[in-house]
Structure 1
Amino acid sequence: MSACGGGGAPTARGAIAYNASAGYGSIVVSHTSQPDANTDALKKCPVGGCAIVLEFSGNGTCGSLVVSSNGAWGVGSAGSKEEADSRASEQCTKRGGVGCHLYQWNGLILNGQPIVGQDTMQCN
């Protein structure tokens, strides 16, 4: 999953919360403080046991989470979605992931709202 934020604010904050054992998570963007972004991501994670796995900040900065079929995962942030995805894939591979990629989620929760066509985020 990946998302970019900012809304014109140079210090916009985002976070990804993830529960690796359950395969669920959430991503939030465009918060004015990192504690607010972290709290919101944890609150919007559709299952308990989620932890903040990535904090990112800056207007237009993107955060990404990729997962491997063997359970390895990685995160990354950058000024573009493509670079954030690439960094997350590299980290996943370094953690022993095989075929690390962005899943077509059964659901991705972005700022508390399901992404169009996706209801909850599960990556296994």
Structure 2
Amino acid sequence: MTTSRWMVGGAALLAALLVAACGGGGDSDGYGAIAVSNSTGRVAIASEALTQSIANDEARDECDAGDCTVVLQFEECGAISSARTSGGAFVYGVAAGGTAFDAQTAANNACTAKGGVGCATIPNLPARCN
């Protein structure tokens, strides 16, 4: 029994050390960015990058269009929301926040302020946190 208890305790300690080494379980100092292509409507969010420059490059690369532009840089959480106006134009809102919920709520509000009707999270592109 002593051997198994040490093995379980050792495995838990090893797991905790790995989580700490990978930046899990606490505040992160990462950077994030959201990029948008106005010509294609493509959007990408990058998070947990080592520098803001890397986050910007990752977001533009993931957006994968020639005119992808970084529209938001964030250190905590970032989100984008989109909708159509009553006239049919595509609009979006972006925002940063202390939590994913706060960022998404602020992005929805920013989209609505631009005339978006029914602004919501873009499918498969939820708010991201560092």
TM-score by length of 2: 0.67
Shift of 1:93: 1.1
Q: Which residue of 2 aligns with 1:78?
A: 97
Which string of whole-angstrom CA distances, capped at 9 and with x for unpartnered residues, describes residues 46-79 of structure 1? 322110011001xxx2110000123111001111
Paired with 2:119 and 2:40, the residues of 1 have a C-alpha distance of 17
Q: Which residue of 1 aligns with 2:63?
A: 45
Residue segments in structure 2 that go unaligned for 5+ positions in a row: 1-22, 126-130
Residue 101 (1) aligns with residue 120 (2): yes
Mapped contact 2:80–2:122 kept (Cα < 8 A): no
Q: Which residue of 2 aligns with 1:20?
A: 38
Paired with 2:122 and 2:58, the residues of 1 have a C-alpha distance of 23
Secondary structure of the 1:68 match is strand
Q: Which residue of 1 aligns with 2:3?
A: none
**Residue identity in the other structure for 1:45:** C
Q: Which is richer in helix? A: 2
**Residue identity in the other structure for 1:48:** G
Residue segments in structure 1 that go unaligned for 5+ positions in a row: 1-5, 109-124
Paired with 1:21 and 1:102, the residues of 2 have a C-alpha distance of 20
TM-score by length of 1: 0.70
Report 1 or 2 for greater relative contact order, CA contacts < 8 Å, sequence distance ≥ 6.
Answer: 1
Shift of 1:34: 0.8
Q: Of residues 75, 78, 82 in structure 2, which corresponds to 1:67?
A: 82
* Percent of aligned pairs sharing the same letter: 36
